[in-house]
Chains A and B, each alone.
Chain A
Amino acid sequence: AQSVSQHNHHVILSEAASLELGCNYSYGGTVNLFWYVQYPGQHLQLLLKYFSGDPLVKGIKGFEAEFIKSKFSFNLRKPSVQWSDTAEYFCAVNAPGSGGYQKVTFGTGTKLQVIP
């Protein structure tokens, strides 16, 4: 069974600091990888995704993530965070199932607090 680990549960940064949130997954086959974000009071939304091709993917609001297959990792990065990046971030991995079902497994989430 697939699993996802996010090692940072709560991160506090000052504005303009660089961000890297770790995500490791376990699954032996081909996977699609996602980062979702939940801003305070808002619903979960997709930040970026990796399906294939260039392992460095860029998402909204200046975020990027790098898929390193040998390390089973998909870390999220941003060179300079803003106060508006305060949110909870979830890494997720999906693997094809049967009958049109895609099993998506989420990590436990990382709460990012950016201090002005």
Chain B
Amino acid sequence: SQTIHQWPATLVQPVGSPLSLECTVEGTSNPNLYWYRQAAGRGLQLLFYSVGIGQISSEVPQNLSASRPQDRQFILSSKKLLLSDSGFYLCAWTHRGNRNTGELFFGEGSRLTVL
């Protein structure tokens, strides 16, 4: 069966420090990968998605970046964190091609607090 893991689960970082959140998927190949940010009362905002290794699309301009160095690995990064980057970040995946129905499978989430 497929599983998705992201880490760390919680992170407290000072303003201006770098960030790296990692997400890996197991049990499937060639998934579409996504990073969302969940804010109270605002639902889930799509930050990045990837349809393949090295292919990253950004939905909103921001201080963050994403990379996909391997087929089942998705990384969310920042060189210098801002206070506004605080939030709950979710990694997700979907099947590709004919198996893709749009159903998302979410990781456990990473709560980032920038002080």
Q: Do A and B come from one complex?
A: yes
Given contacts A101-B49, A101-B51, A102-B32, contact A49 B41 (CB under 8 A): no
Interface bracket on A: 20 to 34
What's the dominant secondary structure at chain A's contact region? Answer: strand
Given contacts A34-B102, A101-B51, A102-B94, contact A107 B43 (CB under 8 A): yes
Residue of A nearest to B44 (CB): A106
Complex contacts, A109 vs chain B, CB 8 Å: 41, 43
Task: Judge whether A43 and B102 touch: CB under 8 Å.
Answer: no
Given contacts A32-B101, A109-B41, contact A104 B51 (CB under 8 A): no
In the assembled complex, A44 has its CB within 8 A of some CB on chain B: yes
* Bound Cα distance from A45 to B106, whole angstroms: 7
Task: Judge whether A49 and B101 touch: CB under 8 Å.
Answer: yes
* Bound Cα distance from A90 to B79, whole angstroms: 32
Task: Judge whether B101 and A51 touch: CB under 8 Å.
Answer: yes
